[in-house]
Every structure is written in structure tokens, then in C-alpha cells.
Structure 1
Amino acid sequence: MARPHIVTIGGGTGHYTLLTGLRALDAQITAIVTMMDSGGSSGRLRDEYGLLPPGDFTRCLAALSSHPEAVKELFGHRFRAGSLGGHTVRNLLYTAVQEITGSVPLTVDRLHEIFAVKNRVLPVTADRVDLVMHLESDRVIRGEASIDTLADLLEAPVLSVYLDPEAAAYPPALAAIADADLIVLGPGDLFTSLVPNLLVQGVREAIAQSRAKVLYVCNLMTKPNETPGYTVGDFVGTMAMYLGEARLDAVLYNAVWASARLDHYASERSRPVPLGEPDALPEGLLATGDLLAEGRLIRHDPRKLAAAIEELARARGWW
């Protein structure tokens, strides 16, 4: 077959890691990026200029750049002080291009030229929306940044998340999903990086109607404010609930922890995601491997992750 078309859907550091690995494969890649960030540099620019938050979008452009190291060093530079303190060069570039073009599609195209990206990075929506979390205690928290920083303040489990107002999908993103051979969801924070994409009108339906295989890359660690005590089955069950009629064809999970340094994470009530009950997942859904990066931080290794995805796709005859 021709070069497979891999569509990734997500946000945050996990999405950047995934794309850093996939860019080395002989594949066409389209990254669809969450646009609900409301904190840090992205949140400030969104509030001051009325823009879509640029952080996740420009991070993915950097991951897929033809000159990744140079782009990471220069465009990833974060100013330390003054009126620009906290902003990255890539976010300011996004703001400048958006002011010049006044158009989301033109901004997307122009930034691909600036970042020297041959693949595609697309916003999941061009609408400005807020992510809202509803807890089982009936408490409501508005804004991705507020949700992400309340690690010690959530007194009850998450009941649901939704967008306010509702958002329509960016049409080129739906076209990419329709054309995909493989759709990869994750890795990333469940309720702030992954699920928000599935809440955008048209995305779940497009995934359900696509001929693509759908792969979910499960998180490595639980997160005390979002997924305390979650097992692989809990992550998969939540994804399945928000996917609706769309289905998962495989779940990729790290099963090798020999070199992991977990003391720091345990003090923050974050633990490796356990498999849980062996019959919690349908037979044949789970694929395991060594996906862990070396070092102090618990992260997916980009090369290992990309290699595992390619091996899984070939072993199952997806391409």
C-alpha cells in the first residue's frame, strides 16, 4: 500500500512525544490538536488578543519540523522577565501571524511554512470555548488551567466534562480523520488533553465513520486530580464512553518498569497505571511492550512508542 496516513488526536507533552517518534516513520502524519488550553502563555495570549490558544498547536509544529533541534531551541525559548516574561517565541509567532492574516486557515498554512513542516498540524476547532468539569459532588470547575492545577483540591471524582459553548470541528480535521489509515489517541491527560477533542461536534462521528483503525495509547501514570486509582480498564472505559459509536481496535500499554524512578511520583500520589482485572478488556485489545524513556521523569520514549505502533500495525495487517 501507499505510505500509511496516521492521524493523531491529543494535546500536551504526550502528543509532542508521540509526534517526535512518528516523524521518523515512512508515513503521512496529521496531528489534530486540542485548543482548550487556558493557562500560562497560551491563556494570556488567548485573553489579551482573543486568539485560539497557541501552545499545544505550536508545540506539535515544532515536533514535526524539518529542523526540529533548531526550532526547539529558538522557537521554544521562553522569556524569563519583563512584559514578555513567560511567553515562548513560538506562541508570539503564532500571535503575530494571526494578527497579520486575520484568518485561522491562513495562519495554519503560514506557520507550516515558518516551522518547515511537511506533514500537517490542525486545530480540532476554530471556535473559542472553555472546558468545564463537573464533579460527583456537584462542584463545577471552568477552564483547563483551573482543572489542571487543582491536584489537591478535588474532593470528589470526575462525573463529566463538557465544552461551553459547544464547538464545531475544524473541517480539514474531519477530512483528515476520514482519510486516515490509523487514528492514534493519546498519550495525554485524560480529561484535559484527550476527551476535549471528542466533545467537539463532528469528531466522534467522523472517527466512527472512518475506515481507519483506532489505537489508544494508555497513560503511564495516574494523576491525583483527574485519574486517582485508575486502571487500564478505567482509562479505556472512559475513552469508550466519550467515543460513543466509535470503537477502539487496540490499546497500547507499557509493561516494563524495571528502570523507573517512582519515589518522587509516590509522594505526589501518582502511581503507574495498573492493568487491573485481567478480564476487564476484550480479548485481543491490549498490546504491551517496553515504552518507557530513560531518566528521572516518567515519560514515553518517542522512538520506542513509534516502533511499537509500527510493529503493532504490521502484525495486525493494518498496513
Structure 2
Amino acid sequence: MIVKSWGRAARAALLGLALASPAGADEAFVTNQGSGDLTIVDLSTMAPVATLPIGGKPAGVAVSADGARAYVTSPEGKYLSVVDTRERRVLRKIPLEGGPLGLAVAPDGKRVYVADMYEQRLFSVDPESGVVATAQVGVTPSGVAVTPDGRTILVAIRDANKIAFVDAASFQKLGELEVGRHPFGVTIDADGKRAYSANVESDDISVIDLSSRRVIARVKVGKRPYCVALAQGRGFVTDQYAESVSVFDLSTFAPVAQVKVGEYPEGIGASRDGKTIYVANWFTNEFWSIAADSLKVIAKAKTGDGPRAFGAFIRAMN
């Protein structure tokens, strides 16, 4: 196990305390691949309040359901960083061979599931002790999501054009489903009824009925869709090459609008109340907020270099 030096962690913690957010403010944990760090943004003010050094070209991020931990993958560093969100410091780094990228946290917080894009596998990680199991899932696994009941893990298998289903209890692959070309981000709705895969090369979203494990719709969006967020009966999709967020109706799958954003948008998420959408713009080093109803840009925050925020990056306070 690799642990950060106390001096560095202490400096990061002190910075976080010095810029503490108002009590109860939701926060975003934005991975910056170029600068190798993690920007924490107070979502009530859209102001950065802390920056934590991570290293290893961080990309994926997932915040636990209780908001106590954030987990960050470093594909080049080959490790998973465990972040204490309250103290704003890295607790430990868990070594992961291959190329850890997409990840998701089990609803009870006891496991973190990490896709290894180089070795066709999914890791099951105990946040305290490290890897406890691996499952072979397919070529170039990317995005990861877990059903709300914690029973099933979905993995986007990019180079096979499929979504793999993994049983969380046995950690065995249950099967797979063909979707569009090069699925990357995968999102499950709050009811656990549908999943949405962003298919980068076919410029569409596959809508999956989870009870039957069938694709029930394909939704055309902008060029190079990356991730999907859900709010107010709409789907919001980052279109990397179109520099936009495509919006579609979740009931009819009809297009609603395209919102112009920064250059090369990647990670996207929705506030707990569904009123606000947040977007990380990789090439402009900005993090934007957008009103989910009017689709107007509300605010912009500067981040580190190359923000990706690939995953569930929002810490919602109770």
C-alpha cells in the first residue's frame, strides 16, 4: 500500500480548512488529468475551495453514497486514491495493476468497482485493504455503474460495443448486451429500471431496460457522446466534438435542445434536487453549471489542467 507523506497531506488538509464551504453545501470533486490533482468546488457558490495533489493522471472519480469518501483512479500511476471528503486529504493509495479508469461505489460503501481498461477486467476493491476479487468482463472496460440495490454492476465494454452485467455477490459475469459503437459512460436511473450508455463512435445513447436486459431505444445526440446525467425527466449528454450538451426527453426519447458549453466536455452530473447540471470542460479547464429547466448557463469555475470528472463526482450533503 502506498501512503502520501504527512507533510503533503497536511498542507492539503489545511488548504481545505482555510477555504471551508458553508455548512451543508454540496461539492463537486473534479479530476484534473493534466495537472494531476483534484479540484473541490463548492456548488453553492461555484467557487473552488481546495486542490488535492493526486498524481498519475487522474481521470475517474466516484463519491460514496454517504459522502464520506471520494475515490479517484490514476491510469498512469496505477492506483486508486481514497480521499476523506470532510478533512479534504488523501488517506491512502491502493495499487491497481493495468489501467484503472471508470469506477463506481457500492451503495453500502463496502466495495469500489474499478474497470481496468488494459487487462479486460473489473476489480472489486475493499477501501481499507485493497483488491479482493477480479472478474473478466471484455475488451477495454470503461464506465462502471451499480444498481441502487447493489446487486448488479454494469460495465461499458468499449471495444466490444457491449455492456457487461456482473453479479456483485459472486463477482461473476452474468452476460452482456450489444449497444452502440464504443460505449464509454454508463448511467443507471434512481429507480434501477433503466440504464443509459453513451456510445462515442455511433453518436447515440442506448436505453436499456434492466429487467429484461434489452435495448429499448437508441437516441441520436451530438458528436462523440461521453457521459449521461438524468434530471427532471430529461437526459443530458456531453458531446465532446460538438462542444455541447444534448438534451432529450426520457419518456419519448425525443430531442429537446443542444446547449453550447466549453471545449471537449466530459464528465456531467446533476444536483440532488435535479435543478442544476454540472459539466467539466476538458480543454478549457472549466467547470460549468446549467439550469436543468431553462438550459441557461448559470456559472463557470476554473479548475486545474484537463478536468475530466469521469464518474459520480458530486458530494450531496444531507
Q: TM-score when scaled to structure 1?
A: 0.31
Q: Larger relative contact order (C-alpha < 8 A, sep ≥ 6)?
A: 1
Task: Name the structure where helix makes up a greater proportion of residues.
Answer: 1
Task: Name the structure where strand makes up a greater proportion of residues.
Answer: 2
Larger-gyration structure (1/2): 1
